[in-house]
Chain A
Amino acid sequence: MEILKVEDLRFAYPGEKTDTLDKISFSVDAGEFICLCGPTGCGKSTLLRLLKKELQPRGDIRGRILFNDKDISEDEYDTSSAIGFVMQSPDEQIVTDTVWHELAFGLENIGMKREKIALKIAEIASYFGISSWYDKKVSELSGGQKQILNLAAVMVMSPDVLILDEPTSQLDPIAASDFIATVKKLNREFSLTVIITEHRLEDVIPISDRVMVLKQGEILCFGDPDDVVSKIRETSDLISAMPSAVQLYHAVGGKGKCPLDVRDGRNFIEKNFLPSSVSLPTDKYIHADDVALEMNKVFFRYSKQMPDVLDLMSLKVYSGETYFILGSNGSGKTTALGIASGIYTPYSGKVKVFGKNVRDYKNNSLYKNCLAYLPQDVETVFLENTVGEELKDAMEEARELPFDVDRLLSKHPYDLSGGEKQLVALAKVLSQKPQILLLDEPTKGIDAASKRRLAEIIKALKNRGITVVAVTHDVDFAAMTADRCGMFFRGRIVSENTTREFFSDNDFYTTAVNRMTRDYYSMAVTVSDCAELCMKNIREEGTVK
């Protein structure tokens, strides 16, 4: 049954001559799982918001949007509970101070009776496993819990359609796949119609019924996932957002059915490639003699009563090296960077930057021509009202970055996309002319294309001799970028190695490509590694020639 139908929808923001959306027509059946993808600025979010009456942006809307065969623009048609909408940022969507109140909020708004609310909340809290933190303050929750709460607070109103606008872009990969799994469960168990956009499609594409690709406000294609992903090979900006199996399929020029997840990808490899030459020649690990950043037996806690966040943490990063610290959320990675950058002082242990104790850098000399830090929330870097003012002293650095900064100069920094924000903030901290750059979750909230651009920038910085230390939980990004990686767990680095060895030694905390090629090829960590190996081992009887 058709639940949502869009007919010849066009939309233009006020004052803009070109249409953001052009001739959009499609229909969605009840119970479908639709993945909407496209490069940043293609109109994904605008389209999603147009479907939700309460969130429709101001502008010129033409065409019709029918929900259950009724035009949603009709005044008396109330879709506030029938169409649920979950947005990107976990924090700002939460309205009230406690978990239970947040769950009740929507039901209070539609004037439901107290007893009925109590029942609904009890149901939803049990289903989502919220009961154990029902009484908590929302400020005590983790990012993943907050986003699950946002989902539950929408689901409590029993919507027929759930729209999700990049819901996991601020979450770590574990929380992100938990979240996607919950959405999948809702879709399968309640035949809830889901329309979702995402930056990271690794988990989403395999479970979608249909995939829609938008490009510059038009529908490029809309159909079965394996059909769509095999069509988009030209648009390379999109390819990097796809699951690793899809990327590999395209990299080796695959034909026939496109694999979507790790399991299919493994079958695809075994079917088409031999395991005869199993490893790539690796460069020997050499490092400079001088140490750029050294942490020696560092202990730190935020206050007397709290437990140690850093517990015997030691780290040595050599000059000119790119070092990634990986680990799960809340393990203290960010705190470790805070200590390295002199924001916090450890209660025991030494932190040295270029052989000099951080405490001995007086009057900001640490932050001039020496060390720069790009925080997780890049918005905290911005002080001015336009990007132009923001980059006044950093134009030189901004010009070197591989993106067109002039287009953004008159915009407010908060109006940029995630990727643009990241790059502008990076240009700004680079104007401190650092020798060592610290990055905290640099890939949080940015799309795949920006991620690839960022990896190129880090490589360019390395070529200029700049040491880069980053913390992340994005294993794919680390595999693409890092020289060495360290695994951070319970307040210290428990193992470290050069990137390839690091990921091929790990069983769970590793890239999808590595999981795909486990025990078949060794040291294949990135898509390009694997493609290179595959091309050496083509099976005669396979489909790849």
Chain B
Amino acid sequence: MRTFKDSNPIAVTLYFLFVTGITMFLFDPILNGISFLGALIFSLVCGDGRDNKKHLLCLVLFVATALINPLVSHNGVTVLFFINDNPITLESLLYGCSNAFMLVSVLYWFSCFSCLMDSDKLLYVFGSFSPKAALVFSMALRYIPLFGDRSKKIRATQKTMGLYKDGNILDMIRGRVREFSIMTTWALEKGIITADSMSARGYGQGRRTRFTNFRFYLCDVILLILSSVLAVFVIMSAVKHDFVFYPAIVAPKMSLISVIGYVSYGVLVLIPTINEWKEEIRWRYLRSKI
């Protein structure tokens, strides 16, 4: 069963780039609203949305962003009330809200993205640009836990050798410096073995190929094409009209083009959710036959 999560990481990454890019760079409150709804629904669907702390954080961020704008920017014609002789305007408040929607929805999208991707997938995506960088990245990922583990061991040994006093900061700093110096020696020393192991297995003897566990299946290609086409629709329609906040709100007239743009974006943000639902239904149906 292939859900959105199992799709080819390059297709998934491009999808997220389209969705967040449109939210961030095409300044349109309606698009922001759609994006926010899509992100929220998908974060609930993909299981990332059970983290209540995250929702609370986003809410706080939303309120703060929405309120700060009218407090600092006094543009706009519709004055609601005065604070310290400064006008608080409706336009400025709505502008803040629109911004807040954008910020929060991008946050939600990113959190969904990080929920879907792991280092293997990221490596695959970056490696498509440069196989060499991918190898370096993979080796770095190998070394992080190795070094962490090592430094813990060194610290423990240093402690039992009686080199730290309780609660002495100077001692602690000295200890960390010493630890760092041991770590460096150790890393250089062991690096030789790794280098040997690499050359023993033929590294540097010619052109490397690159093996990955991911492939482009038909559904990945469809996802890629569909999301690109929809994104082009949204962008083409959005550049045709402008949403103006100051001095007074002027919403662009609804035309066929703008409707096509909004609908396209709506479909775009719902692709992963629909995909999950589709697979869920298909799975239930198939399971009933098992």
- Chain A residues proximal to chain B, CB less than 8 Å: 52, 54-55, 78, 80-81, 84-85, 87, 89, 91-98, 100-101, 104-114, 117-118, 121, 135, 137-139, 150, 153-154, 157, 338, 341-343, 362-364, 366-368, 371-373, 375, 377, 379-383, 414, 428-429, 432
Contact = CB atoms under 8 A, between A and B. Distances in A.
Contacts of B282: none
A271 to B, nearest CB: 46
Interface in B187-211: 189-190, 193-194, 196-211
Contacts, number: 157
A364 B171 CA distance: 12
B207 A96 contact: no
B193 A92 contact: yes
Contacts of B154: 380
Given A108-B211, A367-B161, A87 B197 contact: yes
A312 B60 CA distance: 46
A42 to B, nearest CB: 21
B188 to A, nearest CB: 9
B182 A114 contact: no
Contacts of B200: 52, 54-55, 80, 84-85, 154
A98 B158 CA distance: 31
**Chain B interface: which size bin?**
35 or more
A154 B35 CA distance: 50
A530 B185 CA distance: 46
24 contacts: A54-B199, A54-B200, A81-B202, A92-B190, A96-B135, A98-B138, A105-B203, A107-B209, A108-B208, A108-B210, A111-B206, A113-B209, A114-B212, A118-B211, A138-B142, A154-B200, A338-B156, A363-B166, A367-B161, A371-B160, A373-B157, A375-B153, A375-B160, A380-B157
Contacts of B120: 98, 135
Given A377-B153, A383-B178, A414-B185, A97 B139 contact: yes
B160 A343 contact: yes
B193 A87 contact: yes
A87 B160 contact: no
B78 interface: no
A92 B194 contact: yes
Contacts of B139: 95-97
B47 interface: no
Interface in B202-240: 202-213
B146 A104 contact: no
A414 B191 CA distance: 13
B159 interface: yes
Interface in B149-181: 149-150, 153-154, 156-162, 164-166, 178, 181
Contact of B159 (A93, A105, A118, A343): A343
A447 to B, nearest CB: 19
Given A87-B196, A97-B139, 18 more contacts: A54-B200, A54-B202, A55-B196, A55-B200, A92-B193, A93-B197, A96-B139, A108-B209, A108-B211, A109-B206, A137-B145, A338-B156, A343-B159, A363-B165, A367-B162, A372-B160, A379-B186, A383-B178
B141 interface: yes
Given A101-B138, A381-B161, A92 B166 contact: no
A107 B202 CA distance: 8
A30 B218 CA distance: 48
B119 interface: yes
Given A93-B194, A97-B142, A106-B201, A111 B182 contact: no
Contacts of A381: 157, 161
A225 to B, nearest CB: 28
A139 B145 contact: yes
A114 B211 contact: yes
B161 A429 contact: yes
